[in-house]
């Protein structure tokens, strides 16, 4: 399990984490990479308004809602 995937899973709610864990390992990594890319795109604007953990959680939940 990659570091990105570990951080992505930690940012998810229990329900969303279960949905992701039901996916193949390859799909899990794809979702984690999408999450990391989204976080980079959102950049400092989000982090200025929210705490970093909340910003990571919101981005992770968006990825799961859109993909699954």
Given the structure tokens 């709610």, which residue do they identify? 13
Reported as a pLDDT band with limits 50, 70 and 90, residue 44 is low
pLDDT above 90 (res 43): no
Q: In sequence order, what are the residues at sequence separation of 6 or more whose Cβ sits closer than 8 angstroms to the Cβ of residue 62? A: 38
pLDDT above 80 (res 41): no
Q: For residue 16, what are the domain limits?
A: 3-67
**Tally of domains within the chain:** 1
Q: In sequence order, what are the residues at sequence separation of 6 or more whose Cβ sits closer than 8 angstroms to the Cβ of residue 5? A: 28, 29, 32
DSSP state of 24: -
Read off the pLDDT of residues 1-40 as tens digits, 9 standing for 90 and up.
899 999 999 999 999 999 999 999 999 999 999 998 887 7
- What pLDDT, on a 0 to 100 scale, did the predictor assign at position 55? 80
- What pLDDT, on a 0 to 100 scale, did the predictor assign at position 23? 98
């Amino acid at each position: 399990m990659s570091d990105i995937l570990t951080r992505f899973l930690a940012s998810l709610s229990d329900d969303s984490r279960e949905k992701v864990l039901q996916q193949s390992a390859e799909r899990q990594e794809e979702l984690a990479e999408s999450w990391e890319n989204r976080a980079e795109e959102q950049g400092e604007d989000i982090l200025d308004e929210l705490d970093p953990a909340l910003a990571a959680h919101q981005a992770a939940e968006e990825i799961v809602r859109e993909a699954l």
